[in-house]
Structure 1
């Protein structure tokens, strides 16, 4: 049944089969250590459920995304790196079909329960056909992947003329050029959380598992740059609009506001010689790219 739903949207040469969990699956020849880490964490029966319930589920996030994508009703939607299904659970709607791509069987089983048609596949080598979707989305996904440019190009390939590609919540490189005492403070923050019994303290097991998923969100200079979006998407016929932002704003992001990050992040940036009030220092970039007809 699930494969029959996917068939109209698959590349003619794709080989998709049902695995032991009855998940439509495209074989992944090589699972990198980062891919394994993402599969484990986001499919974890406790951590994955907690992530689903607490991340990207608030009103300002929903408002920002709906303003960027419009309604999902009657559209063919592909959600790359869907995880347990946070994005659709927050936005809602009645898509014609909603394909959720991920490398985590555990996460896809959760996503299937809320309406996704799951597809276990590598975001860098998608088994879906060119121009198969009205809307392709990737929320907090690209920076988890080994090759960010390749994932962006694969996502773009799926968008039909007149369709949209929307990405968000990927760490911006300019915000992560930490150095000196600012970098030192960030590196020892969990010691302070532990010593003060702070609510921000995370167990070592959880912290290590989560950090292992953050492929491009750990070291100074990590993250994505505006140039990557333009270099990949414009030659493919996209009109690209980028909105750097911090995570406290909703629809205002699309009006060019960047918001204000927490005082802790601002302090770390100041001590690293970064002006936290500039677009280049904002935590994330939202990309809204339309494929011209």
Structure 2
């Protein structure tokens, strides 16, 4: 018997693709459990860590204003949130999507997201089990850098969008801002010790810190996203692409080209790396807002 959890998803699944009802989420088989998938599944499946992430991350007023300005209303639309975690985006933005599908690899987080109003799906973001061209909006917040193949995930997000659909990504580290050099890189490499000595940082235990860092495959010097990364993948697929560098606590002004002021430690990291800490290439994050052309 078809359940209420299956109904919103089944209409978009590729023919012949099997899925299973698991508690309060739907599971598709993951053929290749990469190290990134294993690390994210472990971290975000921990109830305490997932609850903390939901409570404290991406919940600010500036985040809400920035996303609403970029996305507009998602009421009565089909929305897919890739890397939804425990549901931070919907918890912050609210609204009334027609269908809200959240995709992740951690059952505990998917159950938390379902309680907020998501139709929760466990699946591999590099090989989504859905047909092409069905979503009005696809979101990827703080998700790409958690994936080994960022390009494959972005291309899949583009594939499932309708013509005229909107793709929004945010909170992935800008490569040029995190490419620390010299003393800055030495300090970065010693950050685990510094966190332990000072008691600072988001993570409460060494285990939580280890797995939290293990999740962030591309959040380290020499890694990250660039404007060319987004445009190089999306423009050939028929997208109009806008990329906005910004620091974390800034709202709708990001879409006007403002970047905000970085925290002192990031200013020092860029200064010690020989860069102007207030330049666009020193902004911590890139937000990508891309519209798929109508055919």
TM tier relative to shorter chain: over 0.9
Task: Give the RMSD, CA atoms, in angstroms.
Answer: 1.4
Contact 1:38–1:104 under 8 Å retained in 2: yes
Pairing 1:6–2:9 present:
yes
Alignment of 1:19-98 (within 5 A): 19=22, 21-98=23-100
Q: What SS class does the counterpart of residue 89 from structure 2 fall into?
A: helix
Contact 1:99–1:117 under 8 Å retained in 2: yes
Aligned pair count reads 291
Alignment of 1:1-293 (within 5 A): 1=3, 2-19=5-22, 21-198=23-200, 202-218=204-220, 220-293=221-294
Q: What SS class does the counterpart of residue 62 from structure 2 fall into?
A: helix
Following the alignment from structure 2 to structure 1, what is the Cα–Cα distance between the partners of residues 62 and 45?
A: 26
Contact 1:193–1:200 under 8 Å retained in 2: no
Following the alignment from structure 2 to structure 1, what is the Cα–Cα distance between the partners of residues 240 and 42?
A: 36
Contact 2:203–2:209 under 8 Å retained in 1: no
Describe the shift of the 1:280–1:22 C-alpha distance in structure 2 as closer, same or farther (beyond 3 A). same
Q: Structure 1: any 5+ residue segments left out of the alignment? A: none
Q: What SS class does the counterpart of residue 243 from structure 1 fall into?
A: strand
Contact 1:83–1:108 under 8 Å retained in 2: yes
Following the alignment from structure 1 to structure 2, what is the Cα–Cα distance between the partners of residues 169 and 155?
A: 16
How far 1:185 moved relative to its partner?
1.7
Tell me the alpha carbon deviations over residues 237-293 of structure 1, each in whole angstroms, 9 at most, x when there is no partner: 110010011102110000001111110111011111122111112111101001111
Contact 2:19–2:26 under 8 Å retained in 1: yes
Tell me the alpha carbon deviations over residues 10-55 of structure 1, each in whole angstroms, 9 at most, x when there is no partner: 2224222223x35211100121121111011112110000000000
TM norm structure 2:
0.95
How far 1:202 moved relative to its partner?
4.0
How far 1:139 moved relative to its partner?
0.3
Following the alignment from structure 1 to structure 2, what is the Cα–Cα distance between the partners of residues 88 and 201?
A: 24
Following the alignment from structure 2 to structure 1, what is the Cα–Cα distance between the partners of residues 144 and 201?
A: 28
How far 1:191 moved relative to its partner?
3.1
Describe the shift of the 1:9–1:274 C-alpha distance in structure 2 as closer, same or farther (beyond 3 A). same
TM norm structure 1:
0.96
Q: Structure 2: any 5+ residue segments left out of the alignment? A: none
Following the alignment from structure 1 to structure 2, what is the Cα–Cα distance between the partners of residues 199 and 23?
A: 32
Following the alignment from structure 1 to structure 2, what is the Cα–Cα distance between the partners of residues 145 and 159?
A: 20
Q: What SS class does the counterpart of residue 222 from structure 2 fall into?
A: coil
Contact 1:72–1:92 under 8 Å retained in 2: no
Contact 1:190–1:201 under 8 Å retained in 2: no
Q: What SS class does the counterpart of residue 170 from structure 1 fall into?
A: strand
